[in-house]
Structure 1
Amino acid sequence: MGQKQKILAIGYLLLSLIIIPSANAQIGKRFPSEKKVIKDPVTGTMLTFLTSTPAGDSKIYPTHNQWTSDGQWLIYRTGRVPGEAMAVNEQTGEMVQVTEGGYSGMLNIARNSMKLYFMRSTDTSLRRRGDTVAARDRSVAPVQIIEVDLAKVFADSKAGKMKPASEYQRVCGTTPPELGAGGDMALDGAEEWAYFRISKEEAARHLPASTKIEGNFGPRNMGAGPSGIAAMNIKTGEVKHVISVPFQVGHIQTNPWVPGEIVFCWETGGKSPQRTWTVMSDGTGLRPLYPESEYEWVTHEAVITRDEVAMAIMGHRKIPGTDKQVALGTSVYGANPGQEAAWGPSGTREKPTGLAIVNLRTREMTIAGQTPSGSGLWHVHGSPDGRFAVGDDFSRSVYLIDRHTREMIMLTTGHKETAADHTHPTFSPDGTKIQIQSAMLSKDGRSMNICIIPVPENWLKRKYSK
């Protein structure tokens, strides 16, 4: 073999090492159970940790589904295989890798089929794990929407007969580069369209020239527009524009029970002038979901039933001119965020606060409950049957509320304020349990695990008069 041939051979070998997936990162790879059942030392609640080692686990955001349609698996982000998503069987604790080739933004688990959807940048340097990180990755590179056939993955993984990743992963379509697609993605209730954010430049093309573009709001220097939402048909690959707005779009989510209904927010990293918004997939019906005042700190909205959205109206800041310290901390990035004066007069308990639930049809709002002290409820969710609501606070304690009686109990505490992220409680589709992410077991106080909290049996057995 001549020198030129040797160089070419070495080059092809190096290229193959780059483009051929490692056996350690193969879809369908199985991991042994780490399942542990631990009694909460304060409340006595039996907590089921589906993962229990410091592998950098984190759950999907509460705006999105957590369980597969058969109710057997939860899908989550992890560092076990960097850049890939994992599923854990709730009964056996076995774990299976369900992506290969990376993903960006939000993981979308279909409710009506055993499918998983996500975005993947065609720029491989941007295939980084995590909703928060990926949301900042804006590129002119086209983005693919990928469908994973979970039923095939689980069946072949169990049989030990995995095929190439292309047998399980399908490219639904590729976005035009001029869209600047990326960040949040949400699957429509009819599971035919996926919605995602677009770049400022693309959003501006669809706004009237006279539109007043909003600037940054608050100390995190976020919120400036314009921004917008586009959609892709996951069956045909068709792409369409949905809406453009003069501010920064965040937390795109859909109503699983009402096709075409979208909820999103004005993202500032804290208090917004008007946080919550809703629009239909054809661009009609754009309006504030809950019209808020300057003294209301609204955050962490999540669609919980066919007609309702839960959200937190925060009560975490000291009332000016009083001695009562409602919350501690000075950094928006720390355990107790949002204390900076630059956020304005909002977030105190001088006005009503708590876990609020807004009806999408009547537009009425009710307060389901609030902690008597501390930060108040922060990340919130509710059972699809309308019976219960759940929220966490700055101490990472999790509270359950009976929406009929307004009774509230602490389910669990001690999940460590030093954790890499918040607990983000999210109800299961059947309303009998709640998933959180927890650092309770971590020695470093940061690494999180996937944990299931049961709704107390006596609460589930309650009967209510009409």
Structure 2
Amino acid sequence: MRFRFTAFLCLCAALSLSLDASAQIGRRFPSERKVVEDPVTGTMLTFLTSKPHGDSKIYPTHPQWTADGNWVVFRSRLAGSEALAVNEQTGDIVQVTEGGYIGMLNLARKSMKLFYMRRTDAGLQIVEADLGRVLADSAKGTMQAAASYQRVAATLPAELQAGGDLALDAGEEWVYFAVGKEEAARHMAPGAKIEPAFGPRRMGAGPNGIARLNVRTGEVRHVVSVPFQVGHIQANLWNPGEIVFCWETGGKAPQRTWTVRADGSGLRPLYPEAPYEWVTHEAVISKDEVAMAIMGHRAIPGAAAAVDGPATGVGGANPGQDDGWGQTGTREKPSGLAIVNLRTRQMQIVGQTDSGSGFWHVHGSSDGRFAVGDDFSRNLYLIDRRNREMMLLTTGHKTTAADHPHPTFNADGTRIQIQSAMLSEDGRTLNIVIVPVPDAWLKRPARP
């Protein structure tokens, strides 16, 4: 009996070591890379993941590629609650965090670093990971303890009520994050009108705020308080000290898009919207420009239904069809993929689909040549901003997918990353996919 008990303890110890090893930073996974031809458009799609782990890309407001342009960082259940990186050429997959993360993953553009939040017994921490060393040591098989690659920049005071919204400044010295109602209220002007919840989802009530942390010194400074719920905090990755964020309601907001400087000055609506406009999914795409969608996804009350009009195929599981948003998001007024200039404040609509929901998640190349957007049908469209020509890049990603494609350009504007359920047997599970900009379009003259 003693022998059996000892053997059982040895087996438990071995399993424990195995489980610990499986959670280690630098762990490598086999390539899942596949090149698949889109059945409708013929575009050759590179699936960097192709198995049903439940992958998802970083949100389009943030970079997807490492600074060297070789690795795409993404979220997946393949390594539990850890972030992964996949090499675009080889398909090698490497675990790049240990200890978990919450909220947004922030890839630096000047260095091979990753910044993120994680919850610990000590509190909410902001962590800096050295991806360059992780990936190099993983390839050589010389991994060290996680602490040698991950540095805790700060443990945030609980009274800040900080959340998972995190954005790395272009100077890579500061990160911005949301703070809760009590902390925001301490910095509100006396007598300020606090906004109540808005819309059928009962979201959007304030106050909320934004603070910033110096990742070198740990210093925390308050940036701004606003009378509404803050969401989608992002930094202008080309212009230090510039922030874009939104009034988050879960749908149409009275005034969706906002911008402010890191010192709290210059707070203003980014695009002052009309009551009938449904503005959403803003993304900073260059030093001076922000892309956003002005939705055209809802039927015009009292109008005859078009045979293949805007209301076709946008109901059911697709958002924004519920009552309570008012007469907004219709094509009675201009709608489409819009781009706002942060300096001149001018807005231009560069394209719109002929039917269906219209554009939903949008992005653009930083050189100003191209824009890209998805719709409720999971179609992906590319737009040449020089002449407004639009082409369908890829489709067939299944309307049952767990999420939208969420397109994001890489740094040089030659490739677009999306998440797709094209290969999923359950029709929902997403994989990480690279869509090329056609060579013929890349050879066109740049915008004047």
* Shorter-normalised TM range: over 0.9
Cα 1:329/1:213, change in 2 over 3 Å: farther
- Secondary structure at the counterpart of residue 158 of structure 1: helix
Number of the residue aligned with 1:169: 150
Question: Would you identify which runs of 4 or more consecutive aligned residues in structure 1 move more than 2 Å?
Answer: 325-331
Cα 1:164/1:437, change in 2 over 3 Å: same
Number of the residue aligned with 1:82: 80
Residue 233 (structure 2) aligned to one of 247, 252, 255:
252
5+ residue gaps in structure 1? 1-9, 124-140
Rounded Cα–Cα distance in structure 2 between residues aligned with 1:54 and 1:335: 22
Per the TM alignment, residue 143 of structure 1 is displaced from its structure 2 partner at its CA by: 1.4
- Given residue 370 of structure 2, which amino acid in structure 1 is its aligned partner? F
Rounded Cα–Cα distance in structure 1 between residues aligned with 2:190 and 2:355: 47
Number of the residue aligned with 1:109: 107
- Secondary structure at the counterpart of residue 175 of structure 2: strand
- Given residue 94 of structure 1, which amino acid in structure 2 is its aligned partner? D
> How far does the alpha carbon of each residue in 1:303-350 deviate from its partner, in whole angstroms, 9 at most, with x for none?
00110000000000000111225225787xx64210122001110000
Q: 1:141-160 counterparts in 2 under 5 A?
A: 142-160=123-141
Number of the residue aligned with 1:425: 407
Per the TM alignment, residue 177 of structure 1 is displaced from its structure 2 partner at its CA by: 1.1
Answer whether contact 2:297 2:314 (CA < 8 A) is retained.
no
Matched, 1:205 2:203: no
- Given residue 223 of structure 1, which amino acid in structure 2 is its aligned partner? G
Number of the residue aligned with 2:296: 315
Residue 350 (structure 1) aligned to one of 326, 332, 346:
332
Answer whether contact 2:386 2:447 (CA < 8 A) is retained.
no
Residue 327 (structure 1) aligned to one of 311, 319, 331:
311
- TM-score (normalised: structure 2): 0.94
Per the TM alignment, residue 420 of structure 1 is displaced from its structure 2 partner at its CA by: 1.0
- Given residue 283 of structure 2, which amino acid in structure 1 is its aligned partner? A
- Given residue 287 of structure 1, which amino acid in structure 2 is its aligned partner? R
Answer whether contact 1:396 1:413 (CA < 8 A) is retained.
yes
- Given residue 284 of structure 1, which amino acid in structure 2 is its aligned partner? S
Residue 173 (structure 2) aligned to one of 192, 196, 201:
192
Number of the residue aligned with 1:234: 215
Answer whether contact 2:312 2:355 (CA < 8 A) is retained.
no
Cα 1:281/1:410, change in 2 over 3 Å: same
Rounded Cα–Cα distance in structure 1 between residues aligned with 2:447 and 2:282: 29
Answer whether contact 2:281 2:360 (CA < 8 A) is retained.
yes
Rounded Cα–Cα distance in structure 2 between residues aligned with 1:61 and 1:330: 22
Identity of aligned pairs, percent? 70
Number of the residue aligned with 2:4: none
Answer whether contact 2:314 2:356 (CA < 8 A) is retained.
no
Rounded Cα–Cα distance in structure 2 between residues aligned with 1:327 and 1:82: 39
Per the TM alignment, residue 417 of structure 1 is displaced from its structure 2 partner at its CA by: 1.1
- Given residue 47 of structure 2, which amino acid in structure 1 is its aligned partner? F
Number of the residue aligned with 1:392: 374
- Given residue 416 of structure 1, which amino acid in structure 2 is its aligned partner? K
> How far does the alpha carbon of each residue in 1:189-212 deviate from its partner, in whole angstroms, 9 at most, with x for none?
100000001011100110022011
- TM-score (normalised: structure 1): 0.91
- Secondary structure at the counterpart of residue 56 of structure 1: coil
- Deviating more after overlay: 141-150 vs 77-86: 141-150
Rounded Cα–Cα distance in structure 1 between residues aligned with 2:258 and 2:25: 37
Answer whether contact 1:335 1:394 (CA < 8 A) is retained.
no
Aligned pairs, number: 434
Rounded Cα–Cα distance in structure 2 between residues aligned with 1:336 and 1:197: 28
Rounded Cα–Cα distance in structure 2 between residues aligned with 1:451 and 1:254: 25
Answer whether contact 2:118 2:125 (CA < 8 A) is retained.
yes
- Given residue 430 of structure 2, which amino acid in structure 1 is its aligned partner? M
Per the TM alignment, residue 465 of structure 1 is displaced from its structure 2 partner at its CA by: 7.2
- Secondary structure at the counterpart of residue 183 of structure 2: helix
- Secondary structure at the counterpart of residue 343 of structure 1: coil
Rounded Cα–Cα distance in structure 1 between residues aligned with 2:391 and 2:71: 28
5+ residue gaps in structure 2? 1-8
